Amino acid sequence: MDLQTLTYTFVGATFALYIGIAFWARASTTGDFYVAGKGVHPVANGMATAADWMSAASFISMAGLIAFNGYGASVFLMGWTGGYVLLALLLAPYLRKFGKFTVPEFIGDRYYSRTARIVAVVCLILASITYVIGQMKGIGVAFSRFLETDYDTGLYFGMGIVFIYSVLGGMKGITYTQIAQYCVLIFAYTVPAIFISLNITGNPIPQLGILSTMAEGSTYMMDKLNLVVSELGFNEYTTQILGSKLNMFAYTLTLMIGTAGLPHVIIRFFTVPKVKDARATAGWALVFIAILYTTAPAVGSMARLNLMNTIQTGPVGEATANLEYEKRPQWFKNWEATGLLKFEDKNGDGRIQYYNDKNKDFAAKAESYGWKGSEMVKVDRDIMVLANPEIAQLPNWVIALVVAGGLAAALSTAAGLLLAIASAISHDLLKGVFKPEITESQELMAGRFAMAGAIALAGYFGLHPPDFAAGTVAIAFGLAAASIFPALMMGIFNKNVNRTGAIAGMVTGIGITMLYVFQHKGVMFIPGTSFLGDMQANWFFGISPNAFGCVGALANFAVAIGVSKMTEAPPEHIQHLVEDIRVPKGATAATDH
């Protein structure tokens, strides 16, 4: 079978599976819709959480960022795993003991305030929508490649699929589908990695492959990669830094705190039967996540090595050592069709020169070779994982599998997030605050409308995403880190934080973060409205907008504690509530009001 037919078969088969499961386990009550009943085992829940968690950003985008940022991209690896430690140690067991459906419900009850609940809903929606925009970028890339169309068409098609998929099922459908999706995506991620690691280093375990020598010769694989990239003027792979070390520190911290503040992940911990299980679930989720995350450095580094070797076929500077454009491989043509890869023959020699023309020393040298600037004018980072098996010349079925895996990752997370948005609007805002008298079926209907609206909005922004998928998602983490996490943590660990303090803290945290992001990335990410420009010179201590959430979080903590000191202490029954959630004894199943 040719590649296109195989890809359609794989994607079709996996989709039929997900939709079949969604129908089979269709949600009928609000309880089912939001939290999947009570009988989900920690291992199963951990697997579903992992699928929920690992989105297009992890699957499609992250290894691409690692490929081009080397050591600098460690922020994603540490940030998106370390957050689970915070989640397990600081939030999950207590929120499970509290036993409600949603994050704003906890904030509303703990801070005895409808206003606090509404503020939490707004923060949650802002973070989740930004997150879905990042997913849409990934979905657009995957679908445009899958359908062999341009990016925009791929995105429209993807929006349709997400709509059908997430509006039909609820959490219960999603939990079981997500287990299936996890299996598809992890298989799709590790199989090509094993093949490639075996090809390059002779070691089938990618985690060990990156430490090994090349299959031929005694050079270490990483040393070889460092050499190959620095010969073309790029920064050395294993030492290049993302911005500055302070930026990397802040970036990692933001992603960690954000992980522990994102509603679609937290919501998972309401679904386990016991407090004890909430702790174990976080561990199991991280086991399943770590399989992909420890493989990603191998995928990234080896993809980079293969890409460089494909284009620069011989010694740098020799006229015949660059790939002839006419002889470019099929994957190159396929990605050119999507508009995400672009070549421009600047010096008219019919060959491809790909080097770092921003490196002044090397640019001078390149000129002496007759090169007139890097001719790979666009290499979208987000294509690397999908293109990787083709670049490595793996069999067609592996390539088809990776497309199916990428779609699984993007869909599962988009669905989980849309559910969090739907529950925030229908359960917290409508039922909880504005229209308590609506029936269950009306609440479900409102939730579905909210999802549809969110898809349309995110799709619109997805046409001009503010960054690569992983970068956009990082902004979402910043917003969650600055608003939700501090409110939750203080709600459990500090009995003195009161209503006024919490509200002031959340507003300050998200306000500072959004202002900073908008001033550098554009108001609502609209190009041209970034009043301070997206340039490093204007960054606060060199901290990039994507990494700013931790500063917002610090401000949130400081303001909340300060304001609480100056205002009335929380009432007696709240102090008891906090004492009660600190011990597991007496936990009951998640209940509605």
- Which residues of the chain form contacts with other proteins (CB under 8 A)? 66, 71, 74, 77-78, 81-82, 84-86, 88-90, 93, 207-208, 210-213, 220-223, 238-239, 245, 248-249, 252-253, 256, 274-276, 279-280, 282-283, 286-287, 290, 293-294, 297, 579, 582-587
Q: How far is the CB of 213 from other proteins (least distance, A)?
A: 7
User: Where do we find the tokens 């070549």?
Assistant: 343
Q: How far apart are CA 21 and CA 51, in angstroms?
A: 15
Q: Hey, what are 264's tokens?
A: 């679609």
**DSSP percent split of the chain into helix, strand, coil, nearest 5:** 75, 0, 25
Nearer to other proteins, 337 or 589 (CB): 589
Nearer to other proteins, 222 or 482 (CB): 222
Q: Hey, what are 545's tokens?
A: 């907008």
Q: How far is the CB of 292 from other proteins (least distance, A)?
A: 10
Nearer to other proteins, 245 or 378 (CB): 245
DSSP at 235: P
Q: How far is the CB of 80 from other proteins (least distance, A)?
A: 10
The secondary structure of 524-578 as a DSSP string is GG-TT--TT-S-GGGSGGG--GGGTHHHHHHHHHHHHHHHHHHSPPPPHHHHHHH
Q: How far apart are CA 556 and CA 187, in angstroms?
A: 41
Report yes or no: 483 and 123 within 8 Å, Cβ to Cβ.
Answer: yes
User: Where do we find the tokens 């006229």?
Assistant: 319
Q: How far apart are CA 111 and CA 368, in angstroms?
A: 68
Q: How far is the CB of 576 from other proteins (least distance, A)?
A: 11
Which helix (H) or strand (E) covers residue 396, if one does?
A: helix 396-422
Beta bridge partners, 220, equal 213
DSSP at 1: -
Nearer to other proteins, 272 or 444 (CB): 272
Q: How far is the CB of 223 from other proteins (least distance, A)?
A: 6
Q: Hey, what are 234's tokens?
A: 């790029």
Nearer to other proteins, 62 or 174 (CB): 62
Nearer to other proteins, 223 or 344 (CB): 223
First-to-last C-alpha distance (Å) of the chain: 56
Q: How far is the CB of 360 from other proteins (least distance, A)?
A: 25
Of 155, 151, 137, nearest to 471 (Cα)?
Answer: 137
Q: How far is the CB of 297 from other proteins (least distance, A)?
A: 4
Q: How far is the CB of 313 from other proteins (least distance, A)?
A: 24
Nearer to other proteins, 16 or 211 (CB): 211
Q: How far is the CB of 239 from other proteins (least distance, A)?
A: 8
CA geometry: angle 41, 42, 47, nearest 5 deg: 100
Report yes or no: 428 and 117 within 8 Å, Cβ to Cβ.
Answer: yes
Nearer to other proteins, 86 or 502 (CB): 86
Q: How far is the CB of 557 from other proteins (least distance, A)?
A: 15
Indicate if the alpha-carbon torsion angle 285, 174, 482, 113 is positive or negative: negative
Nearer to other proteins, 330 or 588 (CB): 588
Q: How far apart are CA 164 and CA 162, in angstroms?
A: 6
Nearer to other proteins, 377 or 583 (CB): 583
The secondary structure of 177-195 as a DSSP string is HHHHHHHHHHHHHHHHHHH
